[in-house]
Structure 1
Amino acid sequence: MQKAEKIKVIILTGFLGAGKTTLLNNILSNDKGKLNFVIENEFGKVSVDSTLVQKNYNQLFELNNGCICCSLDAELIEVLTQLIIAEKQPDCLYIEASGVADAGMLASVFKRDDVLKYFNLTQVICLVDAENFEDRVTEVPEMYRQIIAADRILINKSDLVRPAYIKELESRLKSLNPFAAIEPTIHGNFSIDPVPDRSMSNYAKIDQFQTIETNAGHRMKSIAIAVPEEFDRDQLYASLSVTLYLHYHQVYRIKGFVRLKGEENPVLLQSTGNKITLTAHTPSDSQKYFLVFIGRDIERKGLERILFGYKKEKVLEN
């Protein structure tokens, strides 16, 4: 029988060796009073991490030989279906993704209409290895997707590097993902609580923010574009959906506020994996309208053409 409340979902992501299993063990040990289920994903046929997870959970599922976000999609949905029809459903589902998983694509599964009915993805936590970040970030594109998809970034092993470097790393991570809450941890010591408020209203100074184009490693950029005019909902949705489909390996994330024709309040637009969502938003007194694009080798002119091109075409037609 379906619970009155949706099953809370928390995704743990981070590159190999960042300390995800240790973090999961700490979270589970602090959350013993609840009915917790765990999904462990390994990139290979044999699971190692599942044997390391301490028994502070009620049930564990293993998904091996894939990256959970592509070839294991069907298996993940099968597990979620089992949870929905189970006589006793969990309070929380923790997913420890493979170190090479695409966290954005994984999170997008929980934005599907059929999944949203039963599950509530509350946060995506990315663990960053402070000691090895510099060695990995220029070699592994998957790290960027993990960082950019996160609601909260934990800089683990922070005791093994200089305090000044932690500040530098925080600044660098913030330039890659200005939406995430960032904090240092030691040995994965961390307790789950709501993500600190980082409302998009914090980015009201669009004139300053839109000048930020940060190159880091694989030519990563964060570009903000002011969008004061109204958009047609269907055309904007279609345009950005096609962009994500055709340029998924370039455009990693989109987030911001827009106004839509015929709708009184603005909406928060954001991409999760390759899926666009539009959520009604109560405007603030200093409401600004802009979209932030984060990705690799993206250019302002190309993004503006995606956003405004169809309007120019209409003018030419007339």
Structure 2
Amino acid sequence: MNKPKIKFTLLTGFLGSGKTTFLNTLLEQQKGKVNFVIENEFGSTSIDNALVKKNYNQLFELNNGCICCSLDTELIAVLEQMIMAENLPENLYIEASGVADAGMLASIFKREDIMKFFDLQSIIVIVDAENFEERVTEIPEITRQLVAADYIIINKEDMVQSSYISMIKRHISEINPFAKITSSKFGVIEKGFFDSTKNINEFNRLDFESRESKNGHGMKSIAIEVVNPFDKDKLYAALTVTMFLHYNQIYRIKGFAKIEGSDDIILVQSTGNKVSLTKHEYLEGEDPQPVLVFIGRNIERQGLERILRNLYSTVKY
């Protein structure tokens, strides 16, 4: 009998944003279930483990490095230990270090051997409202975290004016137009926030300023309509090579595309440097339009169009 997959949630955000406080909120909501936690701190001494409330069954510590890079081998060892346990956890929460590359960490869970046992639910990023504007322009790790996120929580809303929260939301939406965003005080958010991500029709209505936008943080979003179907293998290969060669420029790819020999619209997205093409089960009334959005620094429409043009002769711009 196959064991059920372990539901995995990645929690990240820069130093001092309130990740541990929010982790306690998540654990309180899942109290009564079998919850495992992995705590990752960049230094050699663990502090956060003492702050996590005892609403978990087992806690693992990975210190003195970042689990998305220098500690990835240790992470794999912990995951192997976990899946060998007689009683599997229902939920796994990883609180990554403040400098973690959320996309690269999540891509570990996109490995075929890992996906057999773990089901990535979402990437949640906590933002410090007090320091966001100052830090996002100086610390590239924050931008990487934001671009990878499914949900973004602007914490410490009580420490700034409501108009400033609105401004932060606008800036974050420019960096990551796909994420669902809210604000919080002490990690408390409205009920039902995680019930769904952005509606597909909301994604299709995104204003990319004539399908190309660049914000004050140096990030650019370029959306390219792709009306003709792709060969699935060629599309996967081309985007995988693109992410591998240009990972320091292209932070994320997401969108919908048609595939030759099928009437389905598939979801195209990158996680770290891994690309996935999956059939998307959209809701009644949703109408996904074929468009690919590239987000990154110093990216240019002409180069991206060339990549797609090599896959077939006609691309609508």
Question: What TM-score do you get using the length of structure 2 for normalisation?
Answer: 0.92
Deviation for aligned residue 1:304: 0.8
Task: Name the structure 2 match of 1:40.
Answer: 39
Deviation for aligned residue 1:52: 1.8
CA contact (8 A) 2:251 2:295 kept: yes
Could you say what secondary structure the match of 1:230 adopts? coil
Q: Per-residue displacement from partner, 1:250-292 (whole Å, max 9, x unpaired)?
A: 1010000111112221211000011111111357674411001
**Alpha-carbon distance between aligned partners in 2 of 1:163 and 1:285, rounded to the nearest angstrom:** 32
Q: How does 1:63-78 map to 2 (within 5 A)?
A: 63-78=62-77
Deviates most, 299-308 or 280-289: 280-289
Deviation for aligned residue 1:209: 6.1
CA contact (8 A) 1:152 1:195 kept: no
Deviates most, 178-187 or 68-77: 68-77
Task: Name the structure 2 match of 1:131.
Answer: 130
Task: Name the structure 1 match of 2:254.
Answer: 255
Task: Name the structure 2 match of 1:315.
Answer: none
Q: Per-residue displacement from partner, 1:23-54 (whole Å, max 9, x unpaired)?
A: 11222233221111100001122222122212
Q: How does 1:235-314 map to 2 (within 5 A)?
A: 235-281=234-280, 286-311=287-312
Q: Per-residue displacement from partner, 1:173-200 (whole Å, max 9, x unpaired)?
A: 1111111110000011247863434133
Task: Name the structure 2 match of 1:200.
Answer: 200
Task: Name the structure 1 match of 2:96.
Answer: 97
**Alpha-carbon distance between aligned partners in 2 of 1:116 and 1:310, rounded to the nearest angstrom:** 29
**Alpha-carbon distance between aligned partners in 2 of 1:9 and 1:68, rounded to the nearest angstrom:** 15
- CA 1:188–1:282 in 2, change beyond 3 Å: closer, same or farther? closer
Question: What TM-score do you get using the length of structure 1 for normalisation?
Answer: 0.92
**Alpha-carbon distance between aligned partners in 1 of 2:311 and 2:29, rounded to the nearest angstrom:** 52
Instruction: Tell me the number of residue pairs that the alignment of Structure 1 and Structure 2 aligns.
Output: 311
Task: Name the structure 1 match of 2:8.
Answer: 9
> Mind listing any 5+ residue stretches in structure 1 that lack a counterpart?
313-318
Give the aligned residue type for 1:163.
S
Task: Name the structure 2 match of 1:155.
Answer: 154
Deviation for aligned residue 1:80: 0.9
Deviation for aligned residue 1:309: 2.9
Deviates most, 94-103 or 82-91: 82-91
CA contact (8 A) 2:179 2:197 kept: no
Deviation for aligned residue 1:92: 0.6
Deviation for aligned residue 1:79: 0.8
Name the Cα RMSD after superposition.
Answer: 2.1
Give the aligned residue type for 1:265.
D
Task: Name the structure 2 match of 1:28.
Answer: 27
Give the aligned residue type for 1:204.
N
Could you say what secondary structure the match of 2:295 adopts? strand
CA contact (8 A) 1:19 1:187 kept: yes
CA contact (8 A) 1:68 1:76 kept: yes
Could you say what secondary structure the match of 1:194 adopts? helix
- CA 1:31–1:311 in 2, change beyond 3 Å: closer, same or farther? closer
Q: Percent identity?
A: 56
Give the aligned residue type for 1:301.
Q
CA contact (8 A) 1:203 1:209 kept: no
- CA 1:292–1:209 in 2, change beyond 3 Å: closer, same or farther? farther
Q: Per-residue displacement from partner, 1:98-157 (whole Å, max 9, x unpaired)?
A: 000000011111111111111111111100000010111111000011011111000000
- CA 1:109–1:300 in 2, change beyond 3 Å: closer, same or farther? same
**Alpha-carbon distance between aligned partners in 2 of 1:208 and 1:252, rounded to the nearest angstrom:** 17
